[in-house]
Amino acid sequence: MTNPWEEIDLDDYEKHMSMESVYQLQAMNEMMREQFDAYDAEMVMILGIAGGNGLEHIDKDKFKSVYGVDINQSYLNECKRRYSVLGDVFKPICADLLDGAISLPCADLLIANLLIEYIGYECFQKVVRKVKPKYVSCIIQINTEASFVSDSPYLHVFDRLDEVHHQMEEESLIVCMNEVGYSKALMADRELPNGKKLVRIDFRE
Ligand SMILES: C[S@@+](CC[C@H](N)C(=O)[O-])C[C@H]1O[C@@H](n2cnc3c(N)ncnc32)[C@H](O)[C@@H]1O
């Protein structure tokens, strides 16, 4: 069976995420600039990159390689088209992170924003072990309401996500990262308009 993310149209995803009542694309864009600036890193890997939100903040003088990983090839094609200015610095990798057999290049900084929700802690640990980053910066969504998808006209586009969704908790992510040798370096909350919040948690070796 296909992963539900292979069937979600990028335009529907981005329209939903950027609605005034959801505001996640905008919030994530600002948070990504901070993630890129925070550490001395030349190679960054962004897991679950979708349409490349935030890539406009990449400084080509700082980053030699920007790996964008996603299960959906059409999202990666769109990243390449939108951020053609990055040239060969942007390296798309189409891969299913749930597949234990995949190999991934190493990177200094690993970014996982709203991604661990769709692969779970154990699989994320395996990915971290493969990429061997110095720094890991994650954004997870904490719900204060029943549904993890905010109400919007696009809601039904996300119907199948229940099949792969894992609810995140700050403390569980910290324990998961401690188990693979990383300790918490930063934790910052960002409130959203719809009663949800994004939590950025960074780790270092
Ligand atoms: C909620 S979106 C987050 C996108 C982006 N990071 C953001 O913050 O807007 C999750 C992304 O992870 C990708 N994804 C989900 N499961 C995946 C998997 N098993 N392997 C690779 N990518 C996956 C989806 O295709 C999607 O682009």
* Mean pLDDT across the chain: 94
Q: Going by C-beta distance under 8 Å and a sequence separation of 6 or more, which residues neighbour residue 105?
A: 43, 45, 65, 67, 93, 131
Predicted confidence (pLDDT) at residue 58 exceeds the cutoff of 80: yes
Distance 70 CA to ligand 1 centre (A): 6
The candidate with the shortest Cα–Cα distance to 173, out of 130, 131, 128, 133, is 128
Instruction: Please give the model's pTM, rounded to 2 decimal places.
Output: 0.96
Residue in 2, 5, 66, 141 to alter for ligand 1 test, most ligand atoms within 8 A of Cβ: 5
User: 16: CA distance to ligand 1 center in Å?
Assistant: 15
CA–CA separation, 57 vs 160, rounded Å?
A: 32
Which homologous superfamily is 4-204 in? Vaccinia Virus protein VP39 (3.40.50.150)
Nearest C-alpha neighbor of 25 from the set 50, 8, 58, 4: 50
Ligand 1 pocket list (CB less than 6 A): 3, 5, 28, 48, 50, 53, 69-72, 75, 96-98, 113-115, 118-119
C-alpha–C-alpha distance, residues 200 and 22, integer Å? 17
Sequence spans of domains, the chain: 4-204
Confidence grade of residue 154 (pLDDT, cut at 50, 70, 90)? confident
Distance 43 CA to ligand 1 centre (A): 20
Ligand 1 atom showing the smallest separation from residue 98 Cα: 19
Q: How far is Cα 15 from Cα 6, in angstroms, rounded to an integer?
A: 17
Query: If you average pLDDT over residues 88-110, what whole number do you get?
Result: 98
Q: What is the C-alpha separation between 201 and 162, in angstroms, rounded?
A: 24
Residue 100 confidence class, pLDDT cut points 50, 70, 90 = very high
pLDDT for 143 beyond 90:
no
